[in-house]
Amino acid sequence: MTGAVEQTPPAWKRGKLSYGIGLTLHTANKMLEAGVIEAEKHGVPMAIAISDAGGNLLAFNRMDNTMLVSIQIAIDKAFTAVFGKRPTENWASSFREGPLIPLFVHERLITFPGGFPIISNGVLLGGVGASGGVKYHDVHVARAALKAGGFSLDDADAAIADLEDVGKE
């Protein structure tokens, strides 16, 4: 059909990651501990959530004096990273451009930075979400958690590079 408009948003075609099991509570707790240490370095109280490959909450930490709204945002960032198979901030342009606006009926989708899929050997094991600071803090805290778990840092490093590029402008 000539001139037909592509109906499937490109973001949905990124499904090369398969869902897997293997993220343990022990590993999730190590990730939370590293996230807290990173948040303390920045002087920002944070909420940090780790979800399994089904988007279900596996482990959670809310530091003292964290804004209460950050609790649900961190949990939803972890959920969104799993269900979307990509960093939460990568969804923002898709929602702004319009093709995914109907998905906003799902109350848990978050497009703020600081949510990343937990990936090991090309398999999606879960998601991590951090909330409580500005996007810079959230991304760094989530990255520290990923690093402590021994998971891929590619998405987090790309997000940090983007933040540094924006800061130079």
How much is the pLDDT for 3?
Answer: 44
Amino acid 72: pLDDT: 96
Query: How is residue 21 written in tokens?
Result: 């099991």
Report residue 118 as tokens.
Answer: 């937990």
pLDDT at res. 111: 82
> Which pLDDT belongs to residue 169?
40
pLDDT 10s per residue in the chain (169 long)?
A: 344 444 444 544 555 667 788 899 999 999 999 999 999 999 999 999 999 999 999 999 999 999 999 999 999 999 999 988 889 988 776 666 665 555 555 667 788 899 999 999 989 999 999 999 888 899 999 999 999 999 999 999 999 998 887 654 4
Element (H or E) spanning 57, and its range? strand 57-62
- Give yes or no for a contact between 67 and 73, defined as CB atoms under 8 angstroms apart: no
Domains and CATH numbers, the chain: 17-168 (3.30.450.150)
Could you tell me if 46 and 141 are in contact, meaning their C-beta atoms sit under 8 angstroms apart?
yes
104's tokens: 């906003």
What is the pLDDT, as a whole number, of residue 14?
A: 57
Inter-residue contact 114 to 141 (CB < 8 Å): yes
Question: Is there a contact between 145 and 31 (Cβ–Cβ < 8 Å)?
Answer: yes
**pLDDT score of 136:** 86
Amino acid 162: pLDDT: 87
What's this model's pTM, rounded to 2 decimal places? 0.84
